[in-house]
Chains A and B, each alone.
Chain A
Amino acid sequence: GENVEQHPSTLSVQEGDSAVIKCTYSDSASNYFPWYKQELGKGPQLIIDIRSNVGEKKDQRIAVTLNKTAKHFSLHITETQPEDSAVYFCAASRKLTGGGNKLTFGTGTQLKVEL
Protein backbone atom coordinates (compact mmCIF):
# COMPACT_ATOMS: atom_id res chain seq x y z
CA GLY A 1 0.00 0.00 0.00
CA GLU A 2 0.85 3.66 -0.10
CA ASN A 3 3.11 5.21 2.52
CA VAL A 4 3.34 8.99 2.96
CA GLU A 5 6.10 10.51 5.05
CA GLN A 6 5.92 14.13 6.18
CA HIS A 7 8.59 16.42 7.62
CA PRO A 8 9.10 18.26 9.84
CA SER A 9 6.70 17.27 12.59
CA THR A 10 6.94 20.75 14.11
CA LEU A 11 7.93 24.03 12.51
CA SER A 12 8.31 27.41 14.13
CA VAL A 13 8.78 30.55 12.03
CA GLN A 14 8.71 34.28 12.58
CA GLU A 15 5.80 36.21 11.18
CA GLY A 16 6.55 37.23 7.61
CA ASP A 17 9.00 34.39 6.99
CA SER A 18 8.32 31.47 4.66
CA ALA A 19 7.44 27.94 5.75
CA VAL A 20 8.07 24.75 3.81
CA ILE A 21 6.64 21.32 4.58
CA LYS A 22 7.82 18.29 2.65
CA CYS A 23 6.21 14.92 1.89
CA THR A 24 7.30 11.81 0.08
CA TYR A 25 5.10 9.00 -1.19
CA SER A 26 5.87 5.44 -2.19
CA ASP A 27 3.26 4.41 -4.77
CA SER A 28 3.90 5.74 -8.26
CA ALA A 29 0.22 5.14 -9.04
CA SER A 30 -0.80 8.00 -6.75
CA ASN A 31 -2.09 10.82 -8.91
CA TYR A 32 -3.64 13.44 -6.66
CA PHE A 33 -2.02 15.26 -3.74
CA PRO A 34 -4.13 17.48 -1.47
CA TRP A 35 -3.00 19.51 1.52
CA TYR A 36 -5.24 19.97 4.54
CA LYS A 37 -5.08 22.53 7.33
CA GLN A 38 -6.47 21.68 10.75
CA GLU A 39 -7.06 24.51 13.17
CA LEU A 40 -7.50 23.88 16.87
CA GLY A 41 -10.83 22.23 17.62
CA LYS A 42 -11.75 21.79 13.97
CA GLY A 43 -11.60 19.10 11.32
CA PRO A 44 -9.05 19.23 8.48
CA GLN A 45 -9.93 21.53 5.62
CA LEU A 46 -8.55 21.39 2.09
CA ILE A 47 -6.33 24.38 1.29
CA ILE A 48 -4.66 23.42 -1.98
CA ASP A 49 -4.18 20.37 -4.16
CA ILE A 50 -2.15 19.25 -7.17
CA ARG A 51 -2.61 16.56 -9.77
CA SER A 52 0.16 14.35 -11.07
CA ASN A 53 0.20 16.02 -14.48
CA VAL A 54 1.13 19.40 -12.97
CA GLY A 55 4.45 20.43 -11.43
CA GLU A 56 3.42 23.50 -9.48
CA LYS A 57 0.28 25.28 -8.35
CA LYS A 58 -0.10 28.57 -6.53
CA ASP A 59 -2.96 30.22 -4.67
CA GLN A 60 -2.06 33.60 -3.18
CA ARG A 61 0.44 32.93 -0.38
CA ILE A 62 0.45 29.17 -0.66
CA ALA A 63 1.98 27.00 -3.35
CA VAL A 64 2.54 23.32 -3.87
CA THR A 65 5.23 21.66 -5.96
CA LEU A 66 5.34 18.07 -7.16
CA ASN A 67 8.32 16.03 -8.36
CA LYS A 68 6.89 12.80 -9.73
CA THR A 69 10.28 11.29 -10.49
CA ALA A 70 11.46 11.69 -6.93
CA LYS A 71 7.97 11.05 -5.52
CA HIS A 72 7.92 14.10 -3.33
CA PHE A 73 5.74 17.16 -2.99
CA SER A 74 5.99 20.26 -0.86
CA LEU A 75 3.82 23.00 0.58
CA HIS A 76 5.20 26.53 0.59
CA ILE A 77 3.64 29.33 2.62
CA THR A 78 5.06 32.80 2.08
CA GLU A 79 4.66 35.88 4.28
CA THR A 80 3.37 33.78 7.13
CA GLN A 81 0.78 35.24 9.50
CA PRO A 82 -0.33 34.15 12.99
CA GLU A 83 -3.53 32.71 11.51
CA ASP A 84 -1.40 30.26 9.53
CA SER A 85 -0.62 28.50 12.82
CA ALA A 86 -2.23 25.06 12.57
CA VAL A 87 -1.51 21.42 11.83
CA TYR A 88 -0.95 20.70 8.14
CA PHE A 89 -1.44 17.29 6.56
CA CYS A 90 -0.30 16.15 3.15
CA ALA A 91 -2.04 13.23 1.43
CA ALA A 92 -1.74 11.07 -1.65
CA SER A 93 -4.64 9.50 -3.53
CA ARG A 94 -4.56 6.46 -5.76
CA LYS A 95 -7.09 4.18 -7.42
CA LEU A 96 -7.76 0.87 -5.75
CA THR A 97 -7.67 -2.38 -7.71
CA GLY A 98 -11.26 -3.18 -6.83
CA GLY A 99 -12.49 0.27 -7.69
CA GLY A 100 -12.66 3.54 -5.82
CA ASN A 101 -9.86 5.73 -4.53
CA LYS A 102 -7.92 5.76 -1.32
CA LEU A 103 -6.42 8.79 0.38
CA THR A 104 -3.34 8.17 2.54
CA PHE A 105 -2.30 10.94 4.94
CA GLY A 106 1.05 12.04 6.24
CA THR A 107 1.66 12.33 9.97
CA GLY A 108 1.13 16.08 10.14
CA THR A 109 3.20 19.21 10.78
CA GLN A 110 2.44 21.59 13.63
CA LEU A 111 3.23 25.05 12.27
CA LYS A 112 3.63 27.89 14.73
CA VAL A 113 3.98 31.44 13.49
CA GLU A 114 5.50 33.65 16.15
CA LEU A 115 5.05 37.39 16.39
Chain B
Amino acid sequence: DVKVTQSSRYLVKRTGEKVFLECVQDMDHENMFWYRQDPGLGLRLIYFSYDVKMKEKGDIPEGYSVSREKKERFSLILESASTNQTSMYLCASRPILLPLAGDADTQYFGPGTRLTVL
Protein backbone atom coordinates (compact mmCIF):
# COMPACT_ATOMS: atom_id res chain seq x y z
CA ASP B 1 0.00 0.00 0.00
CA VAL B 2 1.09 3.53 -0.75
CA LYS B 3 1.80 5.46 2.38
CA VAL B 4 1.90 9.23 2.51
CA THR B 5 2.70 10.71 5.89
CA GLN B 6 2.57 14.28 7.09
CA SER B 7 4.70 15.52 9.95
CA SER B 8 1.91 16.92 12.10
CA ARG B 9 -1.84 16.31 12.39
CA TYR B 10 -2.46 19.59 14.20
CA LEU B 11 -0.36 22.74 14.29
CA VAL B 12 -0.92 26.11 15.93
CA LYS B 13 1.27 29.03 14.90
CA ARG B 14 1.32 32.78 15.38
CA THR B 15 0.97 35.41 12.67
CA GLY B 16 4.32 36.16 11.06
CA GLU B 17 5.95 32.86 11.96
CA LYS B 18 7.69 30.75 9.34
CA VAL B 19 5.94 27.41 9.10
CA PHE B 20 7.20 24.15 7.61
CA LEU B 21 4.83 21.33 6.67
CA GLU B 22 6.56 18.10 5.78
CA CYS B 23 5.31 15.26 3.60
CA VAL B 24 6.96 11.91 2.97
CA GLN B 25 5.87 9.11 0.61
CA ASP B 26 7.29 5.62 0.54
CA MET B 27 6.35 4.46 -2.96
CA ASP B 28 9.10 6.11 -5.00
CA HIS B 29 6.56 8.37 -6.72
CA GLU B 30 7.93 11.07 -8.95
CA ASN B 31 5.08 13.54 -8.56
CA MET B 32 4.01 15.23 -5.36
CA PHE B 33 1.36 17.84 -4.58
CA TRP B 34 0.23 20.24 -1.87
CA TYR B 35 -3.45 21.19 -1.55
CA ARG B 36 -5.40 23.19 0.94
CA GLN B 37 -8.93 22.17 1.85
CA ASP B 38 -11.50 24.71 2.99
CA PRO B 39 -15.26 24.20 3.57
CA GLY B 40 -17.25 24.92 0.43
CA LEU B 41 -14.12 25.31 -1.68
CA GLY B 42 -12.96 21.73 -2.02
CA LEU B 43 -9.28 20.99 -2.62
CA ARG B 44 -7.22 23.71 -4.22
CA LEU B 45 -3.75 23.09 -5.60
CA ILE B 46 -0.98 25.19 -4.07
CA TYR B 47 2.20 23.74 -5.60
CA PHE B 48 3.33 20.54 -7.23
CA SER B 49 6.58 18.88 -8.16
CA TYR B 50 7.24 16.49 -11.02
CA ASP B 51 10.62 15.40 -9.70
CA VAL B 52 13.45 16.30 -7.34
CA LYS B 53 14.41 19.98 -7.46
CA MET B 54 11.41 20.72 -9.67
CA LYS B 55 8.42 22.78 -8.65
CA GLU B 56 5.41 24.29 -10.38
CA LYS B 57 2.85 26.77 -9.13
CA GLY B 58 -0.68 25.57 -8.72
CA ASP B 59 -3.82 27.68 -8.52
CA ILE B 60 -3.13 29.48 -5.23
CA PRO B 61 0.65 29.74 -4.68
CA GLU B 62 0.67 33.20 -3.11
CA GLY B 63 2.17 33.19 0.36
CA TYR B 64 3.65 29.72 -0.03
CA SER B 65 6.85 28.13 -1.28
CA VAL B 66 8.00 24.52 -1.55
CA SER B 67 11.14 22.45 -1.42
CA ARG B 68 11.87 19.05 -2.96
CA GLU B 69 15.43 18.06 -2.13
CA LYS B 70 14.73 14.34 -2.04
CA LYS B 71 12.34 12.28 -4.09
CA GLU B 72 10.35 11.05 -1.11
CA ARG B 73 9.99 14.39 0.66
CA PHE B 74 8.03 17.50 -0.32
CA SER B 75 7.89 20.45 2.04
CA LEU B 76 5.43 23.32 2.08
CA ILE B 77 6.69 26.57 3.55
CA LEU B 78 4.64 29.50 4.79
CA GLU B 79 7.20 32.29 4.81
CA SER B 80 5.16 34.54 7.11
CA ALA B 81 1.99 32.87 8.31
CA SER B 82 -1.23 34.84 8.22
CA THR B 83 -4.67 34.12 9.67
CA ASN B 84 -6.12 33.50 6.19
CA GLN B 85 -3.78 30.53 5.88
CA THR B 86 -5.66 28.71 8.62
CA SER B 87 -6.76 25.59 6.81
CA MET B 88 -6.38 21.84 6.31
CA TYR B 89 -3.30 21.06 4.23
CA LEU B 90 -3.17 17.84 2.25
CA CYS B 91 -0.16 16.29 0.58
CA ALA B 92 -0.49 13.79 -2.26
CA SER B 93 1.79 11.74 -4.46
CA ARG B 94 1.44 10.02 -7.81
CA PRO B 95 3.69 7.89 -9.99
CA ILE B 96 4.84 9.36 -13.28
CA LEU B 97 2.08 9.10 -15.86
CA LEU B 98 2.63 7.14 -19.04
CA PRO B 99 -0.42 8.02 -21.17
CA LEU B 100 0.42 5.46 -23.84
CA ALA B 101 0.32 2.81 -21.13
CA GLY B 102 -3.14 4.01 -20.12
CA ASP B 103 -2.02 5.33 -16.75
CA ALA B 104 -4.67 7.16 -14.77
CA ASP B 105 -4.16 10.35 -12.77
CA THR B 106 -4.64 8.68 -9.39
CA GLN B 107 -3.27 10.59 -6.44
CA TYR B 108 -2.61 9.17 -2.97
CA PHE B 109 -3.23 11.47 -0.07
CA GLY B 110 -1.77 11.86 3.39
CA PRO B 111 -3.99 12.34 6.47
CA GLY B 112 -3.67 16.12 6.41
CA THR B 113 -2.34 18.80 8.73
CA ARG B 114 -4.84 21.14 10.32
CA LEU B 115 -3.03 24.45 10.69
CA THR B 116 -4.37 27.27 12.84
CA VAL B 117 -2.70 30.67 12.61
CA LEU B 118 -3.51 32.97 15.53
Given A43-B4, A43-B112, the answer on whether A89 and B43 have CB atoms closer than 8 Å is yes
Chain A residues in 8 Å Cβ range of B109: 36, 43-45
Is A68 on the interface with B (CB-CB < 8 A)?
no
Given A43-B4, A43-B90, A43-B112, the answer on whether A103 and B40 have CB atoms closer than 8 Å is no
CA gap between A36 and B45 in the complex, in Å:
16
B104 close to A32 (CB less than 8 A) = yes
Given A41-B111, A44-B90, the answer on whether A32 and B105 have CB atoms closer than 8 Å is yes
Is A85 on the interface with B (CB-CB < 8 A)?
no
A-B contact count (CB 8 A): 54
Partner of B42 from A34, A41, A105 at Cβ < 8 Å? A105
Which of B41, B43, B112 is the most central at the interface, judged by chain A CB atoms within 10 Å of its CB? B43
Chain A residues in 8 Å Cβ range of B105: 32, 34, 93, 101, 103
Partner of B106 from A4, A49, A108 at Cβ < 8 Å? A49
Is B107 on the interface with A (CB-CB < 8 A)?
yes
Q: How many residues of A contact B (CB 8 A)?
A: 26
Is A6 on the interface with B (CB-CB < 8 A)?
yes
Q: How far is the CB of B109 from chain A (nearest CB, A)?
A: 3
Is B60 on the interface with A (CB-CB < 8 A)?
no
Residues 14 to 69 of chain B near chain A (Cβ within 8 Å): 31, 35, 40-45, 50, 56, 59
CA gap between A74 and B87 in the complex, in Å:
28
B40 close to A107 (CB less than 8 A) = yes
Apart from the given pairs A42-B111, A102-B45, A105-B42, 14 other A-B contacts in the complex at a CB distance below 8 Å: A4-B42, A36-B109, A41-B111, A43-B4, A43-B90, A43-B111, A43-B112, A89-B42, A95-B99, A103-B105, A105-B43, A106-B42, A107-B41, A108-B42
Interface residues of A (CB under 8 A from B): 1, 4, 6, 9, 32, 34, 36, 41-46, 49, 51, 89, 93, 95, 100-103, 105-108
Interface residues of B (CB under 8 A from A): 4, 31, 35, 40-45, 50, 56, 59, 90, 92, 97, 99, 104-112
